[in-house]
Amino acid sequence: MNIVSRGIRNAFRNVIRTFSIVVILGLSIGLSLTMLIAHQAVGDKINSVKANVGNTVSISPAGVNGFEGGGNPLTEADLSKVQSLPHVVSTIATLSDRLTTSDTNLQSAITAGSLGQRFGQNSGITFHASNGGAVSFGGPGGSSGGTFSFTPPVTIVGTTAPTDLSGSTVEGGGTFTMKSGTVFTSTSSADVAIIGSSLASKNNLKVGSTFTAYSSTLKVIGIFDAGNTFSNNQVIVPLKTEQAISSQSGDITSIILNVDSITNVSSVTSSASKTLGSAADVTNASSEAQNAVAPLESIQNISLYSLIGAVIAGSVIILLTMIMIVRERRREIGVIKAIGGSNLKVMGQFMIESATFTVMAAIIGILLGVVAGNPITKLLVNNSTNTATTVTAGPGGGGFGAVKVASSGRGLGFIHNNFSTIHAAIGWSILLYGLAAALIIAIVGSGLASFFIAKIRPAEVMRVE
């Protein structure tokens, strides 16, 4: 009988002990595999988030806060400078303005309410009196007498990224959903527009309809829904079109730099600030995004430590088991050596026996890892991110109240939702790596245990026995 068949047969000499060893070792392998799966899944998600969330740098004219504040607009020359910065993969440029009744035939879909009336009264904007005519308020405590009604203006945004609702300091965020029509290209200069669903409904517009803005006629080519009132009251046109029809040639009110990774956001922010100097305010939200990623990094560390602990436990189990088995068979080893068996043959027999234990345990461990990998990963993630909250913010100072932007794809709420979709991908490579590691540990452990016993002389073994 060769050493392979003998080693496999010896593994089943004591069925109860074999069963116990296989179950305990299987649990250890299962835990190791589960932690390996969790570590890889969380690591992949962290890398994905760092490459897509919180990796933007916002640039606005110095001193500008939405439509309030001073400052001069940025220029296309400024855009060219920051586009070439290291780690900047793409840019979004916008020119934002607001259309009043003197600029457009559109009627705003937003009702001012008490906040809007207060904003209008303190902004110097013209009110329309209920008895006809117009009265201008130059600031707090303006004209008295009569009843006045303020209607918020319509926001118009010229942009190179029409579907990115967070690309401007005045856009209200949201998730862009095209209800009908098409979207213009980033380089378009046509007199076309896509409009929010609320604005379209208020003005009875549909794809193919026209309206006026700055004395120009624009054609509606698409209607979108952003999921919030502010964004759905917007007109989005090509950047070049807005620059032309509003007589703001070359002007830009917001630049968004998309950076290749969140780890490079700080350096890009610093470079952009140095490049543009006092002409621009440069900000980013990498710290908030990094804080949101931190819980997953903790999970990754926990899974790594657990993986190391499980591997050590499995190694100790198989080593102590084989030491016990080898010591029990000292007489058998002596007989094998007395009839001409080599040390290598003795070691090989015990290695095969140990590998048999490990393969059976690995089957149990792989089943446990496949079944428990996803649930345990999600449990760890949910427990570590259950304190995350969505962020609410105004549309950059536009003045019409707070707008929830967590769903825009850049807020912490999006990050938290993104984490909740973590899926542990259990591929063959992970399973094969786990099985190979278990076999190596088993072979090394049994080899060490049998090596020292195999070196003794047969006469000494027989005399002791």
- Where helices occur in 280-342 by DSSP H, the ranges are 286-328, 330-338
pLDDT classification of 307: cutoffs 50, 70, 90: confident
Most confident of 218-222, 256-260, 275-279, 323-327: 218-222
- The pLDDT value recorded for residue 365 is 82
Per-residue pLDDT at 382: 65
What is d(CA 98, CA 373) in angstroms, rounded to the nearest whole number?
52
With bands split at pLDDT 50, 70 and 90, how would you rate the model's confidence at 262?
Answer: confident
| pLDDT, tens digit, 9 for 90 and up, residues 123-140 | 544 444 444 444 444 444
Nearest to 95, CA basis, from 294, 243, 268: 243
What pLDDT is recorded for position 116? 57
pLDDT at 391: 36
Question: Which pairs count as long-range contacts for 162-167, CB under 8 Å and 24+ apart, including other chains?
Answer: 162/186, 162/194, 162/236, 162/238, 163/224, 164/92, 164/256, 165/226, 165/231, 165/408, 166/256, 166/405, 166/408, 166/409, 166/410, 167/92, 167/94, 167/254, 167/256
Of 242-251, 424-433, 435-444, minimum mean pLDDT range: 424-433
Segment 211-224 mean pLDDT: 95
Domain boundaries, the chain: 3-51+292-464, 55-111+151-284
pTM flag (> 0.85) = no
CA-CA distance, 15 to 175, in Å (whole number)?
A: 61
* Averaged pLDDT, 43-65: 76
pLDDT of residue 63 exceeding 80: no
Give the pair of three-digit tokens for residue 130: 């209920």
Q: Mean pLDDT check: name the lowest of 105-114, 233-242, 352-361, 456-465.
A: 456-465
**Residue with more model confidence, 238 or 167:** 238
Mean pLDDT of 70-86: 89
Distance between CA 238 and CA 192 in Å, rounded?
8
Mean of the per-residue pLDDT values for the chain? 75
Element (H, E) at 95: strand 88-99
Residues 6+ apart with CB under 8 A from 175: 165, 226, 227, 407, 408, 409
Nearest to 147 by CA among 135, 159, 164: 135
Highest mean pLDDT among 349-353, 417-421, 451-455: 349-353
